Amino acid sequence: MKKITLIFGILLINVTLKAQQSIKLKDLAVPNSPAFILTDITPTLIQNPNSPKKFVLGLAQSFDKSSSGFPENYAAEFAPYWLTSSEGKNVYAAVGLKTKTDDDGNFKILNKEDIFSGLKFTSISLGFINKDLIPDGVDLSQKVFAVGARATFIKVQQDGYAKKMKGLIDEWHIAAQKDLEAYQLAIAIDASQENLDLQAKKLAEKNAQKSGALADEIAELIQQKPKFSWDFAGAYATYGIEDQDWQTGRVGAWTTLSTYIPLASANAKAIKNYFNLNASLRYLRDNFSKNDLGVITKNNNIDVGGKAALEFDQLSVGVETLYRYVNGKGNAENRTVGVINYKIADNIFLNGAFGKNFESQSKSIAILGINWGIGSEKANLPGN
Amino acid sequence: MGTYKTGDGQTEISLSVDINTLGLAASRAIVLLISDPSSAKAVAHSENATGDIAKKIIGTSNGLQNRRLSILTKVDLLDSDLEQRKAQYNNITANYVLSGGTDGSVTFNTPLKSVDAKYKTALIHQPIDLI
């Protein structure tokens, strides 16, 4: 009973104190879907079309449902690179290794990484929603169209990445040739679809041994945090007011610089512990914001934040600082706090933040709570 | 199943393979007499994980006639998201070019495809009967 009371107590503190904070450092980090962040589109509305056909179909259906000519609520997020045909693409481009085709047409893989390789994975988010984003006291939805893009401009991998990645891929290729040698005769003799399906199933079961294990290792290396990355995002939302008049509603821009210094040898199989430093800058313009006098006015926010943290597999400990400038002036939400996250079990995280607001030395922040997450992500500090 | 007329002389027949995928790919080509599987002989393979095979002579018209050419590619898809892997599997394309025979240069691009339930490992097979 005491334990239950304690847990409820902690959760109550969490809810009460969280309500006092309207911005968090993680809000400053470059979002995956800037258009949705800008217009508060709920995740349940979002589609992730994995082919151009699905995207066009989804959009067409939302137009069909509409009687006004403006789509019913529709939001989609996609990276054009993944949607388009694989023509001319290969795994080396996907993992960020540089390649070269010489004058004789010979393809060569270089032991160098392409630091701009993240650009091709630029993602687009767009949404058509009917929502009241003007806080004027009139309960009337506007037609809102929002579009945004997110890109990694520069990504420098950890030392030795290119050599390690090329080495693993070479090993995989040798192992895969052996797989082919083992299965090809049976597939060639009975060249039916049924037999190919049967052999593919057998191969997948056996695959966990050599080439499958190498593929898993390659996939893990892709997930490794970079030594340095520079991410950008931008979004624009326009409101259809009284059907005919379209006006700019909100504009946002985000950028984050991050560095992850591994706390293990570069030769380690997979790096999971880092010292992380990052800095984020966010600009938000809202042309329909209510000021302290209750008047609708334009509002410009610039938020600057940074974080230094030690990140281990289960535990993250760090300090983060955040400054907000509203129309060029400092704000009460400026603060520096210590943050701790501990992964108790899969999907259960203990989060804590302790510190003081800048405005008043007497205003302390103390948050301790348990989060039940979905998925099995590592416990990361906000902003990752 | 494709067919290709090699003719019956000593003309050299060439093969090139172009695999388009973001996954890891490896390709191998063999020729065999269907009536005698022990006759199977490897004639070409990819040199890297693009799965491509640069244009290569695989034999003479006489030596290849009445045999089956089998080009098999294994692809391991790396994305951690199942839906992405499905999309990547659907986007895999392949072009196989045979040249030097009576049919001249012919491109085959409708291979059989199969993938495991997790969409992690795919097999792409293009059989061509050489006549």
Neighbours of A360 (CB within 10 A): 9
**pLDDT of A374 strictly over 60:** no
Taking the Cβ of residue A209 and every Cβ of chain B, the question of whether any pair is shorter than 8 Å is answered with: no
- The per-residue pLDDT of chain A, averaged, comes to 79
**Which pLDDT belongs to residue B51?**
96
- From chain A, pick out residues whose CB is under 8 angstroms from the CB of B25: 90-91
Hey, are the CB atoms on A88 and B28 less than 8 Å from each other?
no
Q: What is the pLDDT of residues A26-41, one digit of tens each?
A: 667 778 788 888 887 7
**pLDDT of A380 strictly over 60:** no
Q: What is the pLDDT of residues B81-123, one digit of tens each?
A: 888 899 889 989 999 999 999 999 999 999 999 999 999 999 9
Hey, are the CB atoms on A90 and B127 less than 8 Å from each other?
no
The model's confidence at residue A21, banded by pLDDT at 50, 70 and 90, is: very low
**Which pLDDT belongs to residue A84?**
73
Mean pLDDT check: name the lowest of A182-196, A315-329, A331-345, A354-368. A354-368
Phi/psi zone of residue A67: left (φ > 0), alpha (ψ -120 to 50 degrees), beta?
A: alpha
Residue B53 CA to residue B18 CA, distance in Å, equals 7
Taking the Cβ of residue A106 and every Cβ of chain B, the question of whether any pair is shorter than 8 Å is answered with: yes
Residues A287-301, mean pLDDT to the nearest whole number: 85
Taking the Cβ of residue A43 and every Cβ of chain B, the question of whether any pair is shorter than 8 Å is answered with: no
Mean pLDDT check: name the lowest of A323-327, A346-350, B18-22, B114-118. A346-350
Please tell me which residue, A322 or B131, carries the higher pLDDT value: B131
**Which pLDDT belongs to residue B102?**
94
Here the tokens at position A128 are 């058509």
- From chain B, pick out residues whose CB is under 8 angstroms from the CB of A202: none
**Which pLDDT belongs to residue A335?**
76
- A129 CA to chain B: closest CA distance, Å? 25
- B62 CA to chain A: closest CA distance, Å? 21
**Which pLDDT belongs to residue A381?**
36
Q: Is residue B106 assigned to a domain?
A: yes
Residues A209-232, mean pLDDT to the nearest whole number: 90
Query: Do residues A203 and A219 lie in contact, with contact meaning Cβ atoms separated by under 8 Å?
Result: no
**CB < 8 Å from B in window 311-340 of A:** none
Is the alpha carbon torsion for A364, A369, A374, A375 positive or negative? positive
Hey, are the CB atoms on B20 and A218 less than 8 Å from each other?
no
- From chain A, pick out residues whose CB is under 8 angstroms from the CB of B50: 90-92, 107
- B10 CA to chain A: closest CA distance, Å? 25
Residues A337-358, mean pLDDT to the nearest whole number: 77
Q: What is the pLDDT of residues B52-65, one digit of tens each?
A: 999 999 999 999 99
Residues A125-141, mean pLDDT to the nearest whole number: 82
Hey, are the CB atoms on B49 and A83 less than 8 Å from each other?
no
Q: In this complex, which of A88, A191, A223 lies closest to B125 when CB atoms are compared?
A: A191
**pLDDT of A19 strictly over 50:** no
Residue A163 CA to residue B26 CA, distance in Å, equals 20
Taking the Cβ of residue A85 and every Cβ of chain B, the question of whether any pair is shorter than 8 Å is answered with: yes
**pLDDT of A298 strictly over 70:** yes
**pLDDT of A171 strictly over 80:** yes
**pLDDT of A371 strictly over 70:** no
- B102 CA to chain A: closest CA distance, Å? 23
Q: Is residue B125 assigned to a domain?
A: no
Residue B33's closest chain A neighbor by CA?
A189
| Partners of A340 in beta bridges | A317, A352
Here the tokens at position A27 are 């809000």
Mutate to test the interface with A, among B1, B32, B82, B91 (most CBs of A within 10 A): B91
Domain limits at B51?
A: 2-112
Q: What is the pLDDT of residues A95-118, one digit of tens each?
A: 999 998 888 778 889 889 999 989
Taking the Cβ of residue A8 and every Cβ of chain B, the question of whether any pair is shorter than 8 Å is answered with: no
Hey, are the CB atoms on B24 and A207 less than 8 Å from each other?
no
The model's confidence at residue A86, banded by pLDDT at 50, 70 and 90, is: low
Domain map (residue ranges) of chain A: 87-114+159-223
**Which pLDDT belongs to residue A352?**
81
Residue A237 CA to residue A251 CA, distance in Å, equals 6
**Which pLDDT belongs to residue A105?**
77
**pLDDT of A246 strictly over 60:** yes
Query: Do residues A369 and A351 lie in contact, with contact meaning Cβ atoms separated by under 8 Å?
Result: yes
Roughly what angle, to the nearest 10 degrees, separates helices A193-206 and A161-189?
140
The model's confidence at residue A164, banded by pLDDT at 50, 70 and 90, is: very high
The model's confidence at residue A205, banded by pLDDT at 50, 70 and 90, is: confident
Q: How many CA atoms lie within 13 A of B67 on its CB side?
A: 27
Here the tokens at position B9 are 């002389």
Residues A42-59, mean pLDDT to the nearest whole number: 70
Is the alpha carbon torsion for A132, A137, A138, A139 positive or negative? positive
Residue B11 CA to residue B63 CA, distance in Å, equals 10
